[in-house]
Amino acid sequence: RLAPVAVLGGVLALAGCSGQAPSALDPAGTGAGRVADLWWVLFWISIAVFVEVMVLLAWALLFRRRRDARVRHGQPLRFVVVAGAGVPLVILVTVYALGLRDLAALGDGPEPGATTIEVTGHQWWWEVRVPGVAGATANELHIPVGEQVRIRLRTVDVLHSFWVPQLMPKTDLIAGEVRETWLRAERAGSYRGQCAEYCGTQHAHMAFLVVAEPRRDFDAWLARLGSPAAGPQTDAQRRGQQAFAQGSCAGCHAIRGTDANGQVGPDLSDVGARWSIGAGAVPNDGGHLGGWIANSQTVKPGNHMPPQPVPAAQLPDLIAYLQSLK
Ligand code: CUA
């Protein structure tokens, strides 16, 4: 009986966080649309059940005495069978059928020839690649708006779950398996995604962004992904590039077109253009970037990047260089 109250509470809670947090009830994609429609069906059914139960409760309380006076057998039994078994059966079968219908529709696809994007889960960031394109990026993927896009998911460590509330339902990343799902954005925009399976201390900071854009812009993104990173333009950026190559940075991170070819951490070829540092941990600006390089453990404790003994004089150069990579 508390279920409808909980649902109402959930609606109020969702209404309260309409700011930045994406809502599955504000769908902008095919999969999320089905989930939202199903949610509303369940919502109105639970409202109807709640009202019915309250009416029966009031009726029982008000007419208790009269019923005590003359109980007629047969009548109550029929009521118990119809209201207690028949009605719930109809509701459950209906909901089950709707669920199966949506499950089948979501499992059906994408179209052959759909663009494929490979997403690999790491503790705690997302590696993004496109088959046939040389480069990689992190925590941000672009998709052509209005098209079905195949998402191929793997994990290199523990379970994660790929979820873009406004575009698609969750798909788990299972160790040792390659799983496929798909999404389709109906309108252009940036949609926040989030790891939806607890995967360790920084599970909350395993966010990503899906940018749905016209085909032309998507093709431009693909071209950027496949080409070398921007070269340094200023003296500070040149010094920064040297510091990056000679220090420990290049042991873990790759920058396309340079000798830095580490494969442990995210590819940094376009780090200056990213929406955040540390998969949604902090904004991508000079101050946070410097703090992250010096000791990312104070920003995102437990992440796999050890504190870096960077000489203070080198830090501004490194920041200038990394910010120029876009
Ligand atoms: Cu990855 Cu939670």
Task: Reduce the DSSP state of residue 169 to 3 states and report it.
Answer: strand
Query: Which ligand 1 atom is nearest residue 203's CA?
Result: 2
Residue 95 CB partners (closer than 8 Å, separation 6+): 41, 42, 45
What topology is assigned to 235-324 in CATH?
A: Immunoglobulin-like (2.60.40)
For residue 212, the CA-to-ligand 1 centroid distance in Å is: 23
Q: In sequence order, what are the beta bridge partners of 126?
A: 121
Q: What is the pLDDT of residue 110?
A: 86
Atom 1 of ligand 1: nearest residue by CA position: 160
Task: Reduce the DSSP state of residue 287 to 3 states and report it.
Answer: helix
Segments of the chain scoring below 50 in pLDDT: 1, 16-18
**β-strand pairing of 179-183 with 189-195:** unpaired
What letter would DSSP give residue 85?
I
Ligand 1 within 6 A of CB of 310: no
Average pLDDT, the chain: 88
Query: What is the b/e burial string over 227-246, where b = at least 16 CB atoms within 10 angstroms of the residue's CB?
Result: eebbebeeebbebbbebbee
For residue 120, the CA-to-ligand 1 centroid distance in Å is: 11
Planar angle of CA 104, 107, 111, nearest 5 degrees: 120
Ligand 1 within 6 A of CB of 206: yes
What tokens does 180 get? 């496929």
Same fold yes or no, 115-226 and 235-324: yes
For residue 38, the CA-to-ligand 1 centroid distance in Å is: 26
The dotted CATH code for 115-226 is 2.60.40.420
- pTM confidence score: 0.84
Domain regions of the chain by residue span: 3-107, 115-226, 235-324
Q: What is the pLDDT of residue 12?
A: 52
Q: What is the pLDDT of residue 167?
A: 94
What tokens does 4 get? 């409808």
Condensed to tens digits (0 to 9), the pLDDT of residues 188-206 reads: 999 999 999 999 999 999 9
ipTM summary value: 0.98
